[in-house]
A and B are shown apart, each in its own frame.
Chain A
Amino acid sequence: MIALEDVTFRYEDMVMRFALAIGEGELAVVFGPSGAGKTTLLNLIAGFDRPDGGRIVIDGRDMAGVPPAERPVTTLFQEHNLFAHLSVEQNVGLGIHPGLKLSAGDRERVASALEEVGLGGFGKRLPNQLSGGERQRVALARSIVRDRPVLLLDEPFAALGPAQRRRMTALVERLRADRGLTVMMVSHQLEEARELTGRAVFVQDGTVLCEGTIREFLAAPPLPEIADYLG
């Protein structure tokens, strides 16, 4: 589903090199030390950064020159996923139409997406009336209505408590299973993906050092660096 072929990207004085393939419907957890390039990796797939070399292919299409909005990708950042001056309903509605021209049917989709993430009835509230976790759930609701096959998450639950993190991760997993999404999630805590079935991708110094399954990595880290990182 997602393939990075010899993708290079210069960031300050480091040249990052990525080669990666994620299959359709897979969950991939990207982890590694700070500054390793995890966010850059996601930005390249999402289209916010342009690679200096190599090819990025998503769903069989070469993404060269394709702007973020046209890629079959939805991205969730750690924060600032919502417009603070628009209501929850409007923020989700932007995923259907970026000009907020919504039909009655669209509005129903918005409402049901909010139900799905457990925020039924929150439509009229403003983001500053919600907790951090609720705000991220609104962003997830938007990703539901956008209905794109790939979901990228850049440490979206880092600001939440451990129990809530687990609940949100479970929610993402449920969405993935229900809709067959391909999910790439950057996380600091591989441990919290323990319950999940998926790939683990270890990024360090601007490149993918190692891949495997989450279970493998947790049980027996294949590289000493990974063991160091996981502690």
Chain B
Amino acid sequence: MALAFRLLPGVLSALVLALVIGGALGGVLSVAGHIDMAALLGDAYVLGILRFTVWQAFLSAALSVVLAIPVARALVRRQRFPGRALLIRLLGLPMVIPTIVGVLGLVAVYGRSGAINDLLAMAGTGARLDIYGLGGILIAHVFFNMPFATRLLLQGWAGIPGESFRLASQLGMTGGQIFRLIEWPMLRQIAPGVAGLVFLICFTSFSIVLVLGGGPPNATLEVAIYQALRFDFDLARVVAFGVLQVGLCALIVGAGHRLARSVPVELGLARDMPRPDLAAPAGRIGDAAAIAFAALMVLLPLAAIVASGVSGDAWGAATRAPLWFAALRSLAVGLCAGLLSCLIGAGLVLTARELGVRYRRPGLATAIELGGSLILVVPPFVIGAGLFILVQPVADVFAIGLVFVVIVNALMGLPFALRILMPPAMEVHERHLRLADGLGITGLTRLRLVDWPLLRRPLGLALALTTALSLGDFGVIALFGTRHNQTLPYLLYQQMGSYRMADAATTALILVGLCLALFIVIERGIGGRGHDRA
């Protein structure tokens, strides 16, 4: 009986997922022809693009995580500097803003006629930065992903018991020793999961790779998928691509997760204990450099976005009613999608941690997270089109178009919710399982008394992120959008497609501003005030 109750949330979530994705697949398969995997795997063109896709995703993930480590460490060590809280909120932005907005911001900084090249020219050196190539793809991916990876790593740091630092104080450990003996074991546990998520994100990167890649050899598999749809409308081939992507990514990310060493932790009370390694001047300089690096990395392109957003007739563009209706609609859709994402994610996490902690099957827990995350590499068109095909005979798709958008966006946000919620939920369970069981605190009471207070902060981050992701998402609404259902990104792309670049920049600025406001409001609202260890 207890077992059933414990597995229930996960089963419910899995059912919803199975229904939606299974239904979508069913819909697509009913109209697709015969799926020929062999033809796909034998196509030299496909294999060539696949190789590049995997390579750039791997490099991007590795680079993002490696760069995020010193930044997160610096933020943990320096708890009190002006602007720290705002900087941490800003770290969530690059992941959620529409790709083209970010790319144009990056180009304004790193492009041929960007700020850096202007500075180099002024300095008189002949050097010129040319970002169109693999380097540009990596810079862009680091911009979009490293800040979010930093926030995930911050969560990991928050999980190190304070008593470890007390011991370190007693033993007189230096910063380097603390990193090697205390922080690195935690990173071994968390970093592979973070890298895995970034890998999946970069694997399906479409615009960034094409626009900044410089040339057609630098393209991801998404191009081939788009080609299959564009002229031939070969749904079977698209499904085959989806299967290929899911299978390959499952292997790669699964292998990555195996690298994660689960560290035996004697969980303390996690009281805040001061670290002994803060005074060293080398450490101070290093931390300042890391924080400055992160701040510049995030702020420079954002500043460019702000600058182009307020130029021209920005006031005029910003005060048009349709823009604010679109904004309201975006917020409504975003909140629904975010809530749904977190609900489904929470269900999966609750069951995964039971399996991982109580029944001592951590492999199952990882498998659940991996399964939820692989949604990222299912071509969104498959899900959208599949749902469309499924629902069209029974309902007016236009009337409920936004419902589809909410559902698909919720699915797209699920991997993020899982990655944010899983490690803290596991840790809370490990720490309190015996005590709670011993006192008979189970079920909803357990959620209310134990989980809610301790998991509020990750929940706040998860909800803020999934809501903002939906806010900035264009892909799905493109399939279901009508004139009545305009959202902000839809308006943005409309403007960009009609020469109205200045108006688009203003729309982009408002979108970014809304996302930032979402992070601040939701994180504080759900996460509560409280010392900002993470």
Contact = CB atoms under 8 A, between A and B. Distances in A.
A83 B176 CA distance: 17
Contact of A95 (B166, B171, B174, B273): B171
Main secondary structure on B side of the interface with A: helix
Interface in A73-128: 74-75, 77, 79-86, 94-95, 98-100, 126-128
A57 B82 CA distance: 37
A163 B363 CA distance: 42
A229 interface: no
Nearest to B273: A48
Nearest to B264: A84
Contacts of B172: 67-70, 98
Contacts, number: 69
A99 B171 CA distance: 10
Interface residues of B, number: 25
Contacts of B182: 83
A120 B101 CA distance: 65
Interface string B250-265: 0000000000000111
Contact of A83 (B169, B174, B181, B276): B181
A144 interface: no
A25 B525 CA distance: 56
B174 A99 contact: yes
Chain B CB within 10 A, most for which of A68, A77, A126, A128: A68
Contacts of B180: 99
Nearest to B173: A98
Nearest to B166: A48
A201 B182 CA distance: 37
A46 interface: yes
Nearest to A127: B266
A99 B169 contact: no
A100 B167 CA distance: 14
Contacts of B276: 67-69
Given A67-B276, A86-B181, A75 B266 contact: no
Contacts of A75: 170
B170 A85 contact: no
B177 interface: yes
Given A69-B169, A69-B276, A80-B163, A98 B264 contact: no
B263 A67 contact: no
A100 B161 CA distance: 21
Nearest to A101: B177
Contacts of A82: 167, 266
Interface in B153-194: 161, 163-164, 166-174, 176-177, 180-182, 185
Interface in A8-62: 46-48
Contacts of A69: 169-173, 276
B322 interface: no
Given A68-B276, A80-B161, A86-B181, A99 B173 contact: yes
Chain B CB within 10 A, most for which of A48, A74, A83, A100: A83
Contact of A81 (B167, B177, B181): B167
A47 B166 CA distance: 11
B169 A68 contact: yes
A83 B266 CA distance: 7
B46 to A, nearest CB: 44
Contacts of A74: 170
A58 to B, nearest CB: 15
A145 to B, nearest CB: 11
Contacts of B169: 47-48, 67-69
B427 to A, nearest CB: 13
Given A48-B169, A80-B163, A98-B171, A85 B177 contact: no
Interface string B228-271: 00000000000000000000000000000000000111101000
A126 B171 contact: no
Given A48-B169, A85-B185, A98 B266 contact: no
A12 to B, nearest CB: 15
A68 B265 contact: no
Contacts of B266: 79-80, 82-84, 127-128
Chain A CB within 10 A, most for which of B168, B171, B172, B276: B171
A77 B170 CA distance: 11
A86 B177 CA distance: 13
A95 to B, nearest CB: 7
Interface string B486-513: 0000000000000000000000000000
Contacts of A100: 177, 181
Contacts of B181: 83, 86, 94, 99-100
A175 B265 CA distance: 30
B265 A98 contact: no
Contacts of A85: 185, 263-265
A208 B144 CA distance: 59
A94 B171 CA distance: 7
B317 to A, nearest CB: 55
A80 to B, nearest CB: 4
A52 B265 CA distance: 35
Contacts of A126: 264
Given A69-B276, A83-B181, A99-B180, A46 B264 contact: no
A74 B172 CA distance: 11
B61 to A, nearest CB: 25
Contacts of A83: 164, 167, 181-182, 266
A74 B171 CA distance: 9
Contacts of B170: 46, 68-69, 74-75
A191 B238 CA distance: 79
Nearest to A129: B264
A99 B264 contact: no
A75 B177 CA distance: 20
Nearest to A80: B163
Contacts of B171: 69, 94-95, 98
A48 B276 CA distance: 10
Interface string B98-137: 0000000000000000000000000000000000000000
Contacts of B163: 77, 80
B232 to A, nearest CB: 55
A47 B173 CA distance: 15
CB-based closest 6 A-B pairs: A69-B172, A84-B266, A80-B163, A98-B173, A99-B177, A98-B171
8 contacts: A68-B169, A75-B170, A83-B266, A85-B265, A98-B173, A98-B177, A99-B174, A100-B177
Interface of A: 46-48, 67-70, 74-75, 77, 79-86, 94-95, 98-100, 126-128
Given A67-B169, A85-B264, A100-B177, 17 more contacts: A46-B170, A48-B273, A67-B276, A68-B172, A69-B169, A70-B172, A74-B170, A77-B163, A80-B166, A82-B266, A84-B266, A85-B263, A94-B181, A98-B171, A98-B174, A99-B176, A99-B181
